[in-house]
Amino acid sequence: MNTSLFKHKKSILFLIGMLCTFTFLNVQAQNKSERLKTEITQALNDWNTHAKNGDLEKFMALYDNSDNIMLVGSDSGEIFKGKVEIRQWLTALLKHAGFSWEMNRIDIDGYKKTAWVFIDGYMIVKWDTGQSRKGPYRFTGIMVKKKGVWKWRLFDGSIPKGE
């Protein structure tokens, strides 16, 4: 009877150990996920602030240096590849308008140093004439972490159909 009781206690201790291990791993995964969401949300807020203030240099600093980065706007022909093309387009745009986003829904997921985002909300455009327009806008993107900073690899904006 003593060996049976010993085996039973050993099984229970093993199960408790496994439960503790799984709980620890789950908490670690949740912490990483929350940290990722916090970091990306901060990067999005910085990006939005730089756009709103028309700070081209700080705005462009949040794009990766790869020649393969892309910005796809919501208007016909707005497809720009590489920092040179993106900078040229933004320079022309910022001469006549400022823009920012009201980000009502933010979905973020990622793996290691790559993350993808989906934002649903509104784009606010303020022209140099003083007029402004707020309209529904969505964007998705892929971001990569380089030297501790999240940077855009792909931005794809769209105006929801029927809105």
- For the segment 136-146, what is each residue's pLDDT rounded down to a tens digit? 999 999 999 99
Condensed to tens digits (0 to 9), the pLDDT of residues 25-79 reads 554 555 678 999 999 999 999 999 999 888 999 999 999 998 999 999 988 899 9
Indicate the pairing of strand 97-111 with strand 79-81.
Answer: unpaired
User: Are 102 and 83 in contact, with CB atoms under 8 Å apart?
Assistant: no
Average pLDDT over residues 101-122: 95
Average pLDDT over residues 111-118: 95
3 state DSSP class of 70: strand
Average pLDDT over residues 109-130: 93
Q: What is the mean pLDDT of the chain?
A: 86
Reported pTM = 0.76
Task: Identify the pLDDT of residue 37.
Answer: 94
Percent of the chain scoring above 70 in pLDDT = 80
User: Are 144 and 110 in contact, with CB atoms under 8 Å apart?
Assistant: no
Query: Whole-angstrom Cα distance, residue 129 to residue 27?
Result: 52
Task: Identify the pLDDT of residue 100.
Answer: 92
Q: What is the fold of 2-158?
A: Nuclear Transport Factor 2; Chain: A, (3.10.450)
Backbone angles phi, psi at 114, to 5 degrees: -130, 135
Cα dist. 119→2, 29, 40, 55 in Å?
A: 62, 23, 12, 22
Query: Whole-angstrom Cα distance, residue 71 to residue 109?
Result: 20
Task: Identify the pLDDT of residue 27.
Answer: 46
Condensed to tens digits (0 to 9), the pLDDT of residues 83-98 reads 999 999 999 888 888 8
Q: Is residue 14 predicted with pLDDT exceeding 60?
A: yes
Tokens of 49: 């602030």
Task: Identify the pLDDT of residue 117.
Answer: 97
